[in-house]
Structures are given as structure tokens and as C-alpha cells.
Structure 1
Amino acid sequence: MPTAPAKEHALADATASESTLRRFLQGLPGVDAVGLEARAAALGTRSIKTTAKAYAIDLAISMIDLTTLEGADTPGKVRALGAKAVNPDPTDRTTPRTAAVCVYPDMVETAKAAVAGTDVKVASVATAFPAGRAALEVKLGDVREAVAAGADEIDMVIDRGAFLAGHYMKVYEEIRAVKEASGSARLKVIFETGELSTYDNIRRASWIGMLAGADFIKTSTGKVGVNATPANTLLMLEAVRDFRAATGVQIGVKPAGGIRTSKDAVKFLVLVNETAGADWLDNHWFRFGASSLLNDLLMQRQKLATGRYSGPDYVTVD
């Protein structure tokens, strides 16, 4: 199901002014924190076995945005990351490719060359990632640089200071401006949920992002203490489900940061299936932002195939 600009859907009137947007957001149901965390915990106890586990591992691999976002990133490191995204396990060519590689704007061209001729996308963080503390024109320049270099996807950060100060329309308008600057690239909007303090704020941020035309809503940068959790991801999955019910527009979800093991990934896939539904069990609509998760998935995949646990020496070091 395609995404659509905010002005085309049934809730367009909610963004007519600062006052209407505030009224809409404050009218959203309050989040029962205890209930939310209990449901997330209960879904995390589901047991996935044998063929279902093998399917889930391959699905999780195909949903990874394989990421390097460090000041010490080099062209060589990015080329190696691209090679791993295209061929995660050189000993088993049936291993799925990852969905994308995610890099800084100045590394997009290198990443693009590394995955050329494949369906692996290149995502680029932008808008003064990770703090987002820059003038709008600087942020838009960041986006345009990444798109000009060939980025298929843009991962932007919202202005958390503006959001927490209650300047919801400023946040909305900035997302709209970034969406326009992104052109044909899909836009993922990062809320940095660990800095939003409350589940009610995460719900409101989710709706601002969706109303503004985000193609994905994303939990975190991976650069703060609290990143993706089952509870905050469950809340965002409820938001995209409810948004599609209200508008007919489907939007993706990307938990990022802190998801390191196959067991974690499978728990998140259960959340997707039980909350948003099977329509989101596809890398066009659900992603993992991760760097180390892939290695554990590969080790578990090898164990299912051979009956032996290979260990970390049998996968490449990122």
C-alpha cells in the first residue's frame, strides 16, 4: 500500500494550524504504561520453534539496515559493510541480503558503489544527526547532499527540543520540508524515544510524523542510553495500525539501537505480527537498525543448518 502526502488523507484538517494540531494530539487516548509494558512482555514470551524459527531468522536478516555511523568511518569500512549486506554469509549463498546499509551523507556514494546491481538500498542519516541541532537550511542541505549522492532512503531526526517545548507545528513543518527535499527517497523519521520521557509523548510524536508524510517512523538514533524497547515499538506499531485504519495509508516502523540477538529480533517480529499484522512482515514496512544483530542471526542460522553453534569466529567482524 503506498504512502501519501499528509494533505491527501482523511486527517489533513488536523494540521491546518498550531491550535488544531495541538487539539488533535491532546485528544489522542492516554497510554496505559502498565498495560503497554505487560502486553509487550507477554508477547515476548511466545516460543518460536524449528521451521518457524528458521523463517523468522531469514526474515529478520532481510529487514536489517546494516549500520555504521561513527566518526572513524572510512571508505574501506563502508565498502566492507556493503559487501556484507549483499552477501552476509559467503559460505551459504541462500542467506538473504539485508534491506539496506545506513551511513553518513559523505559515505553514500561509496556505499552505493558497494551494493551496485543488487536490491540492497542505501540509507543516509541527515538533518544534523544525531542531535538535530542546526538551522533548517543546514538540515535540508544535509538531505540534498545525501540524495544527490544516490541515497534511496533518508533517516532524519526530529527537533526534540521543539517537541518537548510543545511547538508541535514546528516539528510537523520541518518533517514536511525534509520530505520534500528527499524527493523520491523514502523518509524515516527518528523520534529519539529515550529523550521523549513519556509514552504519551511517543504516541504524539508518532502521529506528527505520520501526518507529516513519513514513510517510516523510527525509535532512536542508537546514540543515547535508551533506544528501541518492546514497549515503545509496540506503541508505534499500534500507531501505524490505527493510522492506516483512519486514512488507508500504510507506514513502516523501524526500531533501532540495542537489538543485538536473534531472540530479541524474533520478539520484535512477534510484536509486529500480533499488533500491526502480517502486512508489516516485510522489509518494505519493517526494519531493524543494527550493526551487531546480523552476526548473531548468522550464527543461529548456521546452528539450525548444521546442528552446531559456530561461534563468532565464523562470521565477519563489522
Structure 2
Amino acid sequence: MQAETALQSANLPLVTEPRNPGMDLDMQWIRGVQANTSAIERRAATLPGRRTVKKDHQAAWLLRAISCIDLTTLAGDDTADRVRRLCAKGRQPVRADLLDRLGFDALTVGAICVYHEMIGPAVDALKGSGIPVAAVSTGFPAGLSPFALRVAEIGESVKAGAQEIDIVISRRHVLSGDWQALYDEMRLFREACGDAHVKAILATGELGTLRNVARASLVCMMAGADFIKTSTGKESVNATLPVSLVMIRAIRDYCNRTGYRVGYKPAGGISKAKDALVYLSLIKEELGDRWLRPDLFRFGASSLLGDIERQLEHHVTGAYSASWRHAMG
């Protein structure tokens, strides 16, 4: 992949695919889903050890990774000024001199992800950029607030200007095998989102087994999820390669059966450029090049961008810089 082609879709419109409308809950399909844990772990273990892309090709892949980042701040001490600085970084994620040396004059992240209270400052700071605001919702991160309040929260975030809503599912439905309840919940969340895209956060580290992860992925897609996402970033175990492999193959199966492409978002614990390259290679091998675009793939990350920028500076200058030279804001 050359650097020029890597960024052809860096600033895609938010919607370039027909949205997944969902389907009736197919319990026969759900019950037939299995997950061979040992085989999945063996496959995942082969990915980091492979010879990776080098030099100009690596720079191109890293630029593509930047275009797929949901640049995130979800801290209790978030302020409007912090969010505005984050948005400025999202509009100009790589120093202008480095982009110039790489032969590009424009690059943005995929979205800015914040709590509901920070939607207003984010929307104002991103005017004219084409970067959507994503808001976490439905009692994030535990998803245990009253159901009516969770649905209302989605509506308030959409009204405030969020174009993407990251919802958390009720883990108890998965752990108890109540797939109808999970489907009904997700369907109502999708309806509350309206034209805003919905990302279903599975909190995979709390679902017990890879089979549960596969089944929950399919149920959420059947209910109309536009993306399925690994984690809130607040669990003790977040995105992992085995979990990603299971979710990606569920996406592939769903697409093969329905014709609709659903997006994927690994989140939590992805902070190094080399990790981003591994995830991109997994997506390319399992789903194909079409998923290597921000309308179908996102990284949920807060510190990943800084390490990628350091790697790009090393590519341009031959020397690593201090991390503070690429501050997040």
C-alpha cells in the first residue's frame, strides 16, 4: 500500500454504506454458534510475530490507522477546554511539517468520543471539519441505570449533536443466555439513535466465554448495530486479538448471510503503533480492504495517536523524539 492510496478515504463521509437494518432474531443461528478457543488463540498468536510492513509502506499503514481513530477522553475531570484541545488535535493529528515531508496536506481522525456533557464543546470545536462527535451512552460504562433513562440519554445526546452513539449492552442478558432480551434492548437503542450510528459495546472481558462473545455479536447485529465494539476501556480486560478474531468472523458471517457490512471497533489497551499494525493486518486478512476505512473500522484510543506520530517522525528524520513533542493537547 502506497502512502497516497492509504489516505484516499481518510476523510470519507460518515455514511458510505447502506446502514444495517437488522433482521428478526434467528435463534437457530445463535444456538448453532460455537467457538474453538484453542484454535482461535493459536491463530491470534501468529499475528504479532509475522514480518510486518516496513518503511514507506509502514508509514502509509500508520496514516491509515490515524484516520480510523476515535480520539477519546472519558475522564471524570474532563473540561470544555480539554475537549477543545482534543478536537484541535483531531483536526490536525500529525504535525504539519511531518505531513508535508510525507507528501500530505490534510488528515483527520475518525471521530472525537466524549461523555454527553462534552458534546456541545466538541460540536462547536469541530464545525466545518467533517469529523463526527461520538458520545458514550446508556449508563456507560456499567449499563445498569434504569432502562427508560438509558433510552432517554441516547435521545438527549442525539439532540445535542452527536452523530454516533456508543451504547453498552446489559451483560446479564448474555451471561444468562437471554438472547431475546438482548435483542429487544438493542433494537430499542437503535430506534432511539435515529439517524445517528450506533456502536454496541459488548464489554467482552465480562462475558465469560468466546462463544458468548460470538453470540452477543450476532444478536447485536441482528438488532441493527452499525458497529460492534469490544470494550468500554474501563474493564480489567479490554480489546484482545482472540476476542477481535471472534467478533470479526461474526461480522463476516453476518455480511455473507445478509449482504450488510457492519463495522468493528477494538477499544481499550491499544496504545502502541505496532499494535495498530497488527489489528489492521487482522482486518485485512479476515474481512478485506473494504473494512480498512473509517466508516467500517475504528480504534477506540486516547494515547495511540502520540505513539504513531513518534513513529512517523522516526520514519521522516531517522531519530525518535520525546513523547512530549507530540502532546495530545
Residue by residue over 1:175-203, the C-alpha shift from the partner in whole angstroms, topping out at 9 and shown as x without a partner, is: 11111111111110000000001100000
The one-letter code of the counterpart of 1:31 is: A
Q: 1:137: which partner in 2?
A: 148
State the distance in 1 between where 2:164 and 2:221 align. Answer: 16
Alpha-carbon offset, residue 279 of structure 1: 1.1
Residue pairs, 1:83-122, within 5 angstroms: 83-92=88-97, 93=99, 94=104, 96-122=107-133
Give 1:24 deviation, angstroms.
Answer: 2.9
Q: Deviations along 1:252-286, whole A, 9 cap, x unmatched?
A: 00000000000000000000000111110101100
1:256 aligns with 2:260: no
Tell me, in whole angstroms, the C-alpha distance in 2 between the residues paired with 1:236 and 1:107: 30
Output the CA distance in 2 between the equivalents of 1:117 and 1:56.
26
In the alignment, is residue 78 of structure 1 matched against residue 80 of structure 2? no
Tell me how far apart the structure 1 counterparts of residues 275 and 107 of structure 2 sit (CA, whole Å): 19
Question: Displacement, 1:106?
Answer: 1.3
Residue 7 of structure 2 is matched in structure 1 by none
Contact kept in structure 1, 2:89 and 2:328, CA below 8 Å? no
SS of alignment partner, residue 233 of structure 2: coil
1:287 aligns with 2:298: yes
Q: Secondary structure at the match of 1:6?
A: coil
User: What letter is aligned with 2:36?
Assistant: D
Cα deviations by residue, 1:128-185 (Å, 9 ceiling, x for unpaired): 0000002221001110111001001000000001221122111111111111111111
Aligned to 1:305: 316
Q: Secondary structure at the match of 2:216?
A: helix
SS of residue in 1 equivalent to 2:199:
strand
Amino acid at match of 1:244: C
From 11, 18, 26, the equivalent of 1:2 is 18
Whether the aligned pair in 1 keeps the contact of 2:231 and 2:266 (CA below 8 Å) is yes
> C-alpha offsets along residues 228-254 of structure 1, whole Å, 9 cap, x if unaligned?
011111111111111111110000000
Aligned with residue 45 of structure 2, among 41, 44, 62: 41
Could you list the structure 1 runs, at least 4 aligned residues long, displaced by more than 6 angstroms after superposition.
none
Q: What is the number of equivalent residue pairs in this alignment?
A: 306
Q: Give the equivalent residue in structure 2 for 1:65.
A: 70
Map 1:204-283 → 2, pairs under 5 A: 204-283=215-294
Alpha-carbon separation, structure 2, partners of 1:3 and 1:88: 28
CA distance in 1, matches of 2:130, 2:48: 31
Fraction of identical pairs, as percent: 43
Q: Normalising to structure 1: TM-score of the pair? A: 0.93
Q: Match for residue 174 of structure 2?
A: 163
Partner deviation per Cα, 1:269-313 (whole Å, 9 max, x = no partner): 000000111110101100000000000001101111111111202
1:83-119 Cα offsets, whole Å, 9 max, x none, are: 1100113443536211000001111111011111012
Aligned-partner residue type, residue 42 of structure 2:
A
- TM-score norm. by structure 2 comes to 0.90
Mapped pair 1:31 → 2:35? yes
Structure 2 residue aligned with 1:191: 202
Higher deviation after alignment, 151-160 or 170-179: 170-179
The answer to whether the 8 A contact 1:44-1:270 is kept is: no
- Gapped regions of structure 2 (runs ≥ 5): 1-16
CA distance in 1 between counterparts of 2:60 and 2:328 reads 24
State the Cα RMSD in Å: 1.2
